[in-house]
Structures are given as structure tokens and as C-alpha cells.
Amino acid sequence: MKFDPKIHHRHSIRPKDYDYAQAGGYFVTIVTRGRACLLGEINNYKMKLSVAGQIVEEQWNTIPDHFPSVELGAFVIMPNHIHAIILCRGVVSTPPVVSTPRPCA
């Protein structure tokens, strides 16, 4: 069955007034647009990363360089999503934006 946001929707279990900038551990899932399998494929029960998947893995490992108060926990890349645990040791500040991202043409 193809994903249909009118049928397949999740209700957030997050507390509405919780400050996610405070110290703590966070489980994060990020899904590709349209759930497209852009990050790789599974062959013989092993994940084979695509170029995009390799970039995601490389960039994941640079997060502490940009956010010194963040520690990386477990991380797994699947064909159309990633699961990660991020540990924040204190208030996480947003780095200044160098340039405005533009959509691909």
C-alpha cells in the first residue's frame, strides 16, 4: 500500500510545552521525501549505502563540530530513513546561517 497522508498519519506524543533545547537524549527519525529509497538498498541482509547515504553518514559525524554540546548516540541508515539518538549536554544554540538554502532546479 502506498503512503497516503490522509490515511497514514501519526499523532504526536510530544509534550506541547517541553523545551527540546534542554539537556537530554532524543530519538530522531528522518524520512526521505515521498519515502523514496535514496539512501541505499539492502542486499543479503546488509545495508549498501548510495552516494546520498554516504553523504548522510559523513554529515552525521560532523554534527559535534557544529554543535559542541551535542554527543552522538546510535545511528542507523535505512533505504528511506534514518534513526538516531542525539544526546544534548546543555542548551543547543543554532549556528548563524551563512547562506539561504535554495531548492534544486
Residue 95's nearest CA partner among 64, 58, 59 is 64
Which grid coordinates are listed for 83? 534513526
CA atoms 12, 19, 89, 31: torsion sign: positive
Residue 58, pLDDT score: 97
pLDDT for 60:
96
Give the whole-angstrom CA distance, residue 95 versus residue 67: 8
Please, are residues 90 and 19 in contact by the beta-carbon 8 Å criterion?
Answer: no
CB 74 within 8 A of CB 25: no
Is the pTM here over 0.75, yes or no?
no
Over residues 11-23, the pLDDT tens digits come to: 777 788 887 777 8
Contact by Cβ (8 Å): 40, 61: no
Q: Is residue 105 over pLDDT 60? A: no
Count CB-CB contacts under 10 A for residue 11. Answer: 5
pLDDT classification of 89: cutoffs 50, 70, 90: confident
Handedness of CA 82, 88, 93, 95 (dihedral sign): negative
